[in-house]
């Protein structure tokens, strides 16, 4: 049985100076009801906590670590640059090289700017959209998460739907400038444009909804957004903070044959360092040029350490066969999980695309389509599964509404062992719930 004594002691001390002992809320493990862990080190696919427990990592920094932890090429690049300076407040050749590589990777974009987080990237993209159109309304999808800026956390107070990131402190006028739509709901989206089309500045969407666990877009849904934006003069923003460079070398919009106006990147392109980026057609990006209509600035934007790590990471991603191998690993995990679920008679559905997947913890083999479906899941079962997986040496996201992230560092054995542990953990959790709630659990 693993011990978490040292982690618990450190968190108890940490809570006196940091709210909940963490600087980002999910790290407190509140959504899974367990004791959070303090990490001592991480390498490849493994994390070691301060109590000496070793976990195979399927959280991967919420998807930022496609290469795994402390990839040698990235570590060496950071070390070389650190000796030359970490931040100087000026541009560098590393910034221009990274910008050129990302622009070349994705035909939908012509220019790019770097910031320090996905939140900043999306915040600025929406600001550009409002400046370009002279409109205020923003359409976003229920259950998606686009960072914690005011405009992206705003929601109509009378919407009557469950949304993510509900918070006080948002000015009421911003709440009135957001329209909510259920993901994949074509009829609702058309209705919103019919009623408000001449006031909609932009639609922002995750091409694959990765903040609902994992929800795939229905065929034609992204194309409909493009069509409606064109008809009404609104901008189409693709939030690729999670999906960018995950499935191909560039934005997933290329694979989907979608041409968005603006794209946001983050996570993977930083190679494990803090990064965000917004990119798009030059006519939109020129709004942030000096003396133009939109202001954005940041001391640490495109700092040399991040640019060095990012270029080193892209060197690896660009190697022949990299994404083919990731897809193979995804197939291995897919087959292994389905085999385990069949063996244990588990009625849950596993959905995957590339090296990203998610289990729908509900008694249905129909894929989830929207946040309404997401909220029908058995969250209490996932709470038990999360704890059991930790005891078995596997780290999953401390929230049911996050995906399972595969990295290049995972071996076939890691994937097979994870599937076995997941099957056993889910089976045990289901058995406990059948015993406690025999009438309420229709499994």
According to the model, what pLDDT value does residue 439 have? 45
Q: Give yes or no: 267 in active site.
A: yes
DSSP three-state, residue 56: strand
Indicate whether 76 and 31 sit together in one domain. no
Whether residues 60 and 126 fall in one domain: no
Residues 362/287, Cβ–Cβ less than 8 Å: no
Q: What is the pLDDT of residue 441?
A: 52
Domain for residue 345, yes or no? yes
Same domain for 168 and 279? yes
Residue among 57, 140, 145, 323 flagged as catalytic: 145
Check residue 155 and give its pLDDT.
85
Asked if residue 443 is part of any domain, the answer here is no
- The whole domain housing 10 covers 5-70+321-436
- Pick from 317, 345, 365: which residue ends a domain? 317
Asked if 60 and 187 sit in the same domain, the reply is: no
**Is 442 within the bounds of a domain?**
no
How far apart are alpha carbons 390 and 375 in whole angstroms?
24
Say whether both 194 and 144 belong to one domain: yes
3-state helix, strand, coil in the chain (%, to 5): 45, 15, 40
Q: Are residues 350 and 386 in the same domain?
A: yes
Length of the chain as a residue count: 443
C-alpha radius of gyration, the chain, whole number: 22
Catalytic residue from among 239, 261, 334, 373? 239
Contact between 419 and 410 (Cβ < 8 Å): no
- State the Cα–Cα distance between residues 347 and 364, nearest whole angstrom: 7
SS3 state at 180: strand
**Beta bridge partner(s), residue 302:** none
Q: Are β-strands 46-49 and 39-43 bridged in parallel, bridged antiparallel, or unpaired?
A: antiparallel
Query: Going residue by residue through the chain (443 aa), what tens digit of pLDDT does each one get?
Result: 789 999 999 989 999 999 988 999 889 898 998 789 999 999 999 999 999 999 999 999 999 999 999 999 999 999 999 999 999 999 999 999 999 999 999 999 999 999 999 999 999 999 999 999 999 999 999 999 999 998 899 888 666 666 777 788 988 888 899 999 999 999 999 999 999 999 999 999 999 999 998 999 999 999 999 999 999 999 999 999 999 999 999 999 999 999 999 999 999 999 999 999 999 999 999 999 999 999 999 999 999 999 999 999 999 999 999 999 999 999 999 999 999 999 999 999 999 999 999 999 998 889 999 999 999 999 999 999 999 999 999 999 999 999 999 999 999 999 999 999 999 999 999 998 776 555 445 54
Alpha-carbon span 111 to 103, nearest angstrom: 6
- Of 317, 350, 372, the position where a domain reaches its end is 317
Query: In the prediction, which pLDDT does 434 show?
Result: 75
Domain boundary among 293, 317, 341: 317
DSSP states along 105-166? H-TT-SEEEEESSHHHHHHHHHHHHHHHH---EEEEEET----SSHHHH---TT--S--SS-
Which of 267, 278, 323, 382 is an active site residue?
267
Catalytic status, residue 239: yes
**145 belongs to the catalytic site:** yes
Do 228 and 217 fall into the same domain? yes
Q: Is 103 helix (H, G, I), strand (E, B) or coil?
A: helix
Same domain for 87 and 214, yes or no, is: yes
């Amino acid at each position: 049985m693993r011990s978490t004594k040292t982690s618990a002691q450190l968190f108890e001390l940490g809570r006196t100076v940091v709210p909940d002992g963490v600087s980002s809320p999910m790290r407190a493990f509140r959504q899974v009801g367990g004791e959070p862990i303090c990490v001592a080190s991480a390498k490849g696919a493994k994390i070691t906590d301060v109590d000496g427990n070793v976990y195979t990592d399927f959280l991967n920094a919420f998807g930022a670590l496609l290469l795994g932890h402390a990839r040698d090429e990235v570590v060496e690049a950071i070390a070389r640059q650190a000796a030359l300076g970490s931040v100087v407040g000026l541009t560098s050749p590393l910034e221009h090289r990274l910008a050129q590589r990302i622009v070349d990777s994705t035909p939908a974009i012509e220019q790019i700017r770097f910031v320090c987080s996905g939140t900043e990237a999306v915040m600025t993209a929406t600001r550009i959209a409002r400046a370009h159109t002279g409109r205020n309304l923003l359409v976003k999808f229920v259950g998606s998460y686009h960072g914690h800026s005011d405009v992206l956390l705003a929601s109509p107070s009378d919407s009557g739907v469950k949304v993510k990131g509900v918070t006080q402190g948002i000015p009421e006028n911003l709440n009135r400038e957001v329209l909510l739509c259920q993901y994949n709901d074509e009829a609702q989206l058309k209705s919103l444009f019919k009623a408000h089309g001449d006031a909609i500045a932009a639609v922002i969407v995750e091409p694959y909804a990765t903040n609902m666990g994992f929800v795939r877009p229905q065929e034609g849904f992204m194309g409909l957004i493009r069509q409606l934006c064109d008809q009404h003069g609104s901008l189409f923003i693709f939030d690729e903070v999670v999906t960018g460079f995950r499935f191909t070398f560039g934005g997933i919009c290329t694979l989907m044959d979608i041409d968005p106006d603006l794209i946001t990147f983050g996570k993977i392109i930083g190679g494990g360092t803090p990064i965000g980026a917004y990119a798009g057609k030059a006519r939109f990006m020129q709004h942030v040029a000096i003396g133009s209509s939109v202001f954005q600035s940041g001391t640490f934007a495109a700092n040399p350490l991040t640019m060095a790590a990012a270029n080193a990471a892209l060197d690896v991603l660009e190697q022949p066969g990299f994404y083919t191998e990731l897809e193979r690993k995804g197939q291995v995990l897919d087959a292994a999980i389905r085999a385990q679920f069949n063996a244990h008679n588990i009625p849950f559905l596993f959905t995957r695309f590339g090296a990203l997947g998610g289990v729908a913890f509900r008694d249905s083999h129909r894929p989830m389509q929207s946040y309404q479906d997401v909220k029908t899941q058995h969250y209490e079962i996932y709470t038990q599964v999360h704890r059991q997986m930790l005891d078995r040496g596997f780290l999953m996201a401390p929230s049911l509404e996050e995906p399972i992230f595969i990295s290049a560092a995972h071996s076939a054995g890691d994937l097979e062992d994870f599937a076995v542990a997941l099957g056993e953990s889910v089976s045990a959790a289901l058995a406990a719930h059948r015993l406690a709630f025999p009438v309420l659990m229709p499994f």
